[in-house]
Amino acid sequence: MRYGSVCSGIEAATQAWHHMGWEPAFFSEIEEFPRQALDHHYPDVPCHGDFATIGEDDYGSIDLLVGGTPCQSFSVAGLRGGMADERGNLALEYLKLAQRKRPKWVVWENVPGVLSSNGGRDFGAFLGGLVECGYGWAYRICDAQYWGVAQRRRRVFVVGYLGDWRRAAAVLFERESLSGNPPPSREARKEATTPAGERIAAFDKQRLGQYGNGEVSSTLAARDYKDATDLVAEELSVRRLTPTEAERLQGFPDCFTQIPYRNKPADKCPDGPRYKALGNSFAVPVVRWIGERIQAVEGLANAED
């Protein structure tokens, strides 16, 4: 499977899919720190700037287009500008790129606020645009805590397949999921976030509305961790999450974002850009599951043919 990634950030998709042998044809990112991270980890993959300028013939054909266009205009914490916001309009640019490149599959991610933005009309416009481009689609809200990381992170994932909604639905929905999400696994979260099963932090249960509970972190945000929701209550004190803890909560390897930056060595990499890049990222285990489901559906389709 050859894919193109837009609004790539630190590229959770490639981290999630490399074990399947999938090949990135290109990345697209405009922010400085994520671009440095991409160049550090994937120096042989071209990194485009503004994905709206990617042409039909650029980087060859792709089988899948993945991206999470900026969420700020759809977030309930933002101004809810929706498609009228310049950032929201990047969702439409994503559709235009899909129209130019014509991949079989599209995978798009955003915050749950997109469902109610502008009375639901913005999300409806996006789904309608997929249909106009020839894609059948399905969407689902996935919470990362049910995929083995200790973080509440609810995100809308849309999967589209060129010409057939049934294959898109087969990716996102399993028979077991029709009765709701299974209860989160305490052991899975501990293994995913700490070496040797040790706890990252002991959360102060008296601060549960504020900092999460004793098992699950609050959602990582795309900022430099100055907000109360970005803190950990540990016994009788409050501290910030470390960058390594944030990496684990998103499913990345330890020190993945500790890179050479602005002519300084990796051990001098500042924390602020690392926090922001991780808060902007997909949760790796969720995207891994989607990729594995796409591969399974592809395998069934090939067997039928």
Q: What is the CA radius of gyration of the chain?
A: 19
Strand partners, 138: 159
For Cα atoms 231, 244, 38, give the angle at the middle one, nearest 5 degrees: 120
Rounded Cα distance, 229 and 241, in Å: 10
Q: Which candidate in 7, 47, 71, 142 is catalytic?
A: 71
Is residue 142 annotated as a catalytic residue, yes or no? no
What residue has token string 């490149």?
Answer: 101
Rounded Cα distance, 217 and 66, in Å: 26
For Cα atoms 218, 220, 223, give the angle at the middle one, nearest 5 degrees: 135
Closest among 194, 256, 223, 224 to 11, alpha carbons compared: 256
Sign of the four-CA dihedral 44, 45, 50, 55: positive
Rounded Cα distance, 200 and 245, in Å: 7
Type of residue numbered 230: D
Q: Are 1 and 22 in contact (CB under 8 A)?
A: yes
Q: Are 250 and 238 in contact (CB under 8 A)?
A: no
Please give the C-alpha separations between residue 40 and each of 69, 256, 302, in angstroms, as whole numbers. Answer: 23, 10, 36
Q: Give me the numbers of helices (H) and strands (E) for the chain, helices first please.
A: 10, 9
Q: What positions carry a catalytic annotation?
A: 71
